[in-house]
């Protein structure tokens, strides 16, 4: 049976590993390479690395660093941040990313998803959506690390991204991000209800139960989390033990 | 030992290179010129992308003849990974009907979900179950999880070529075998310890 994935998210800003709250007040929490080495030994199912300042600052992808990271990464490695054109996808895949996460660029030029999927396969195109709830209770998309409001509802955009050829959707709640008080289950459902591709839930995980809720109620195929692993004693391995006890199929390593 | 990783422009080779070194591979090298792999004792054919692009690149870079000779005549062990496994087939249907390397008889077709819970692409960790006994599966118990990411699968003509199956889309063939030729749909270089075990077994052949 296909396993539900537990994925630590690594946010990268000016050569350090950071974590913020609500896409703001970033704190440095360590260095990238040691973090990847540690996660390699802790049975994580995948890693997501996002350069959070790449789009806003308009700086180039740091391919050398990504190549260094990917050589040390023996689990699937998704890289995002600052991808603007199809050639960026190519460069990142050549540098060792297994998948790329595309967010802001898809609003301005949706063909990046279609072209990327056609050239490299939809399995390596992760479409990332950052969202906030508006005062009418509707989920609205934001780009540029949460700074730019897009007048499109999450469920509409998610469906569109699937049609364009995205292989997976990473859905992040801007309001919940870094709060550690649980995922926005309704936001996850707004996506899983309309697409048939795998959905990765992100933003708000503070306990193993939160991960369970995103999977059981939100119907997520994978759960991404950062603060829970940076700031608490909780680990991906224990998270999987908890999910296993709740009858969620997870990967338990049989070979040591 | 001389481990040759074939670079035909279809994927990054950093992690497979490092994984082979971690697994005790000696003289591991990434080879982009078919002239340079004459002394290989083990060959890795990796790859991510479409069947059509993969075959086009192998053809354009003049890999097909030397590869077939080394594997068929010199019996050098070959491990195809993901697209590299699919290219071993006679034919693929991704990007039109395309001839493959024809090293293991069969075709490569799109996965067909048996219910609406099965999503395509098949992405994530899933179990493998052995159908043929082989030293490449030594110390790998049935039910071990490996990392998959694909939309197409290998359908061998003969059941003798089925090394393992995986419970998805009606138990698809997740690895193939024919003498010294092996192919895994999953990524051992991205599957942590179970992946390393398989690579070690391959290097011990």
Q: What confidence tier does A55 reach under pLDDT thresholds 50, 70, 90?
A: low
Nearest to A3 among B17, B125, B195 (CB): B125
Quickly count: other Cβ atoms within 10 Å of residue A58's Cβ.
Answer: 9
Burial of A31 (0-12, 13-18, 19+ CB in 10 A): exposed
* Closest among B154, B67, B65 to B105, alpha carbons compared: B154
Fold adopted by A5-245: TIM Barrel (3.20.20)
Q: List CB contacts of B33: < 8 A, sequence separation 6 or more.
A: none
Domains of chain B, by residue range, sit at 3-203
How confident is the model over A201-226, as a mean pLDDT? 97
User: Which residues on chain B are in Cβ contact (under 8 Å) with A71?
Assistant: 14-15, 17-18
DSSP state of A59: P
Residue B138 neighbours by CB distance under 10 Å: 12
Which residues does residue B145 pair with via DSSP β-bridges, in sequence order? Answer: B127
Between A89 and A252, the higher pLDDT residue: A89
> Is the pLDDT confidence value at B113 over 80?
yes
Q: What is the mean pLDDT of residues B164-184?
A: 97
Can B127 be counted among the known catalytic residues? Answer: no
Residue B1's pLDDT is what? 95
Residue A126 · residue A80 · CB < 8 Å = yes
Average pLDDT over residues B164-191: 97
For residue A86, what pLDDT is reported? 94
From B42, B82, B94, B153, active-site residue: B82
| pLDDT for res A61 | 75
DSSP chain B: --EEEE-SSSS--HHHHHHHHHTT-SSEEEE-SGGGGTT-SEEEE---S-HHHHHHHHHHTT-HHHHHIIIIIS---EEEETHHHHTTSSEE-TTSSEE---SS-EEEEE---SSTT--SSEEEEEEEEESS--GGGTT--TTEEEEEEESEEEEESSGGGEEEEESSTTTEEEEEEETTEEEESS-GGGSHHHHHHHHHHHHT-
CATH number of B3-203: 3.40.50.880
Minimal-distance CA residue of chain A relative to B54:
A120
Q: Is the CB of residue B170 less than 8 Å away from at least one CB of chain A?
A: no
- Per the annotation, the verdict on B82 as an active-site residue is yes
Percent pLDDT > 90 in chain A is 64
Query: Is-contact B175 B163, C-beta < 8 A?
Result: yes
pTM summary value: 0.90
Residue that wins the pLDDT comparison between A38 and B61 = B61
**pLDDT tier at A69 (50, 70, 90 boundaries)?**
confident
Domain limits of chain A?
Answer: 5-245
Catalytic pick among B23, B42, B153, B189? B189
Measured CA to CA, the distance from residue A164 to residue B187 in angstroms comes to 26
- pLDDT surpasses 80 at A63: yes
Q: Which of B55, B33, B140, B141 lies closest to B101 in space, CA to CA? A: B55
**Record: contact A253-B193, CB cut-off 8 A:** yes
Query: What pLDDT, on a 0 to 100 scale, did the predictor assign at position A56?
Result: 65
Q: Are B27 and B1 in contact (CB under 8 A)?
A: yes
Greater pLDDT, A91 or B135: B135
Provide φ and ψ at A117, rounded to 5°. Answer: -70, -40
**Higher pLDDT, residue B167 or A54:** B167
b/e string for B120-133 if b means 16 or more Cβ within 10 A? bbbbbbbbbebbee
**What is the ipTM metric for this complex?**
0.82
- Nearest CB among A76, A167, A255 relative to B194 is that of A255
* B-chain residues near A222 (CB < 8 A): 124
**E strand or H helix at A108:** helix A104-108
Would you call B62 a catalytic residue per the annotation? no
Mean pLDDT of chain B, nearest integer: 94
Check residue A27 and give its pLDDT: 81
CA distance B86 to B96: 14
**Which of A27-36, A243-252, B4-13 has maximum average pLDDT?**
A243-252
Q: What is the pLDDT of residues B85-98, one digit of tens each?
A: 999 999 999 888 99
């Amino acid at each position: 049976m296909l396993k539900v994935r537990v994925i630590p998210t690594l946010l990268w800003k000016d050569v350090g590993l950071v974590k913020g709250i609500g896409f703001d007040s970033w704190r440095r929490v360590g260095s990238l390479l040691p973090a990847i080495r540690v996660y390699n030994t802790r049975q994580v199912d995948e890693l997501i690395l996002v350069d959070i300042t790449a789009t806003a600052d308009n700086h180039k992808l740091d391919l050398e660093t990504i190549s260094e990271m990917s050589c040390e990464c023996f689990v699937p490695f998704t890289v995002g941040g600052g991808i603007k054109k199809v050639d960026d996808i190519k460069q990142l895949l050549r540098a060792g990313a297994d998948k790329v996460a595309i967010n802001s660029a898809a609003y301005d030029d949706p063909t990046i998803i279609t072209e990327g999927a056609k050239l490299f396969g939809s399995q390596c195109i992760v479409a990332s959506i950052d969202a906030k709830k508006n005062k009418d209770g509707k989920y609205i998309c934001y780009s540029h690390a949460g700074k730019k409001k897009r007048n499109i509802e999450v469920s509409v955009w998610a469906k569109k991204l699937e049609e364009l050829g995205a292989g997976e959707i990473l859905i992040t709640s801007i309001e919940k991000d870094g709060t550690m008080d649980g995922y926005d289950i309704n936001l996850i459902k707004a996506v899983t209800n309309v697409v048939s591709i795998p959905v990765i839930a992100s933003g708000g995980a503070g306990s193993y139960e939160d991960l369970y809720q995103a999977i059981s109620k939100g119907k997520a195929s994978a759960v991404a989390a950062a603060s829970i692993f940076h700031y608490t004693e909780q680990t991906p391995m224990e998270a999987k033990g908890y999910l296993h006890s709740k009858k969620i199929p997870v990967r338990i390593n049989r070979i040591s | 030992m001389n481990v040759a990783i074939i670079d035909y422009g279809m994927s990054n080779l950093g992690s497979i290179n490092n994984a082979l070194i971690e697994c005790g591979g000696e003289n591991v090298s990434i080879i982009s010129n078919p002239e340079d792999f004459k002394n290989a004792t083990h060959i890795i054919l990796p790859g991510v992308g479409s069947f059509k692009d993969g075959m086009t690149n192998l053809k354009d870079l003049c890999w097909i003849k030397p590869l077939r000779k080394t594997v068929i005549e010199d019996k050098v062990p070959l491990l195809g990974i993901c697209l590299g496994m699919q290219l071993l087939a006679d034919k693929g249907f991704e990007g039109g009907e395309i001839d493959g390397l024809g090293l293991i008889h069969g075709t490569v077709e799109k996965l067909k979900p048996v219910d609406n819970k099965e999503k395509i692409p098949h992405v994530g960790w899933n179990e493998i179950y052995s159908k043929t006994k082989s030293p490449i599966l030594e110390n790998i118990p049935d039910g071990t999880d490996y990392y998959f990411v694909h939309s197409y699968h290998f359908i061998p003509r003969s059941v003798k070529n089925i090394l393992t199956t995986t419970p998805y889309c009606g138990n698809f063939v997740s690895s193939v075998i024919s003498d010294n030729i092996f192919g895994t749909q999953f990524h051992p270089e991205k599957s942590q310890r179970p992946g390393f075990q398989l690579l070690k077994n391959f290097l011990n052949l």
